[in-house]
Amino acid sequence: MKLSQIAKDYDIKITNDINISGLNDLINAKETEITFLHDIKYKEQLKQTKASAVFVTKEFSNLCPKTSVPIVCENPYIAMAKTTKLFSKPLYKTTGAKPNIDKTTKLKENTALGFDTTIGKGSVIFDGVFIGDDVFIGNNCIIYPNVSIYSGTTIGDDCIIHAGTVIGSDGFGFANDGGKYIKIHHNGVVKIANDVEIGSNTSIDKAVFGATIIENGVRIDNLVHIAHNCHIGKGVIITGQCGFAGSSKLGDYVVIGAQSGVSGHLSIAPYTTISARSGVTKTIKNSHKQYTGFPIMEHKIWLKIQSKIQKLLPKDKR
């Protein structure tokens, strides 16, 4: 798509009308992509972006690099949301190569396979599984009944995905335009590495752009939600009924207790333990510590507070 086609609604004259291949964030945008600045805290990233064009307010348009065309608009976030639709792919392919399934892999009945999909050696795909277009599944995987794997998903070797799980669905992304919710089309993918086990009825959303990533050796329990653009580090353990907002990042070997929640756009340091029913609302920078409560605090401090609260109660109420 030509840059002039995108810019025409913003009364911007384009002298170097290049092809735009897609959208991306400020840091990861390539020279053929367009990006946006919606929050002042990312203005330093704006100065470094390689994007060909940037949706930006007039106030910060002078911060755009010389190589980036500022597309000045009132609300860059809404502009980005509307533009995602221009780059969304068709829901499914009507032509393509037949699925490439290794002869040692076993497919049960009523399995739906999209075009240009590959499944490696020794895998087992149970009844009622849906696998979209352009999916890659490695060797020795087990996909249990009624799992849905959306187009573009990559799954490594030795993975187990239990019944009812959905991988690659759209994230929960909308821009509020005067009371009307504009859908943000999620044009990214999900990438799952090797030796990952995912429990039943879990949802892993695809990225807005780029990828939602699950690293090697991760263990995910039942009824877990992982939102768009999350990055789950190597060897992480996530127990049941946990939720992760968009772009949250878990370091290697983090353990998350049941019914805990993690806010978006924050990081948890490697080897951190989050106790059950805790709420992580800020970045955790120090490794090898345990945190508890909502909002979280170090576990040993939480224990002291609980002890003091108990002492405030009458003895017959403790």
Q: What is the structure's pLDDT at 127?
A: 97
What's the predicted TM-score (pTM) here? Answer: 0.94
- Cβ neighbours for 118, distance < 8 A, ≥ 6 positions apart: 99, 100, 101, 135, 136, 137
What 3-state DSSP class applies to 231?
A: strand
Residues of the chain with pLDDT under 50: none
**CA 156 – CA 150 distance, rounded (Å):** 15
Helix (H) or strand (E) holding 3: helix 3-7
What 3-state DSSP class applies to 318?
A: coil
**CA 105 – CA 68 distance, rounded (Å):** 49
Examine residue 295 and say whether the peptide bond preceding it is cis (omega within 30 degrees of 0): yes
What 3-state DSSP class applies to 92?
A: coil
Structure tokens at 21: 């291949």
- Cβ neighbours for 308, distance < 8 A, ≥ 6 positions apart: none
Q: What is the structure's pLDDT at 9?
A: 77
Nearest to 171 by CA among 202, 197, 149, 203: 203
- Cβ neighbours for 59, distance < 8 A, ≥ 6 positions apart: none
**CA 283 – CA 267 distance, rounded (Å):** 5
**CA 51 – CA 240 distance, rounded (Å):** 40
With beta carbons less than 8 A apart as the criterion, state whether 215 and 233 touch.
yes
Q: What is the structure's pLDDT at 219?
A: 98
What 3-state DSSP class applies to 121?
A: coil
Contacts made by residues 85-88, CB under 8 angstroms, sequence distance 24+: 85/183, 85/185, 86/1, 86/6, 87/1, 87/22, 87/23, 87/185, 87/187, 88/185, 88/187
Handedness of CA 298, 299, 303, 304 (dihedral sign): negative
Which domains occur in the chain, in start order? 3-87 (3.40.1390.10), 100-265 (2.160.10.10)
Encode pLDDT of 134-160 as tens digits: 999 999 999 999 999 999 999 999 999
Q: What is the structure's pLDDT at 17?
A: 85
Catalytic machinery residues: 228
What are φ and ψ of residue 80, in 5° steps?
-60, -45
Encode pLDDT of 23-42 as tens digits: 999 999 999 999 999 999 99
Helix (H) or strand (E) holding 250: strand 249-250
Q: What is the structure's pLDDT at 318?
A: 66
In which residue are the tokens 């396979």 written?
Answer: 113
With beta carbons less than 8 A apart as the criterion, state whether 2 and 17 touch.
yes
Helix (H) or strand (E) holding 306: helix 299-312
Q: What is the structure's pLDDT at 120?
A: 98
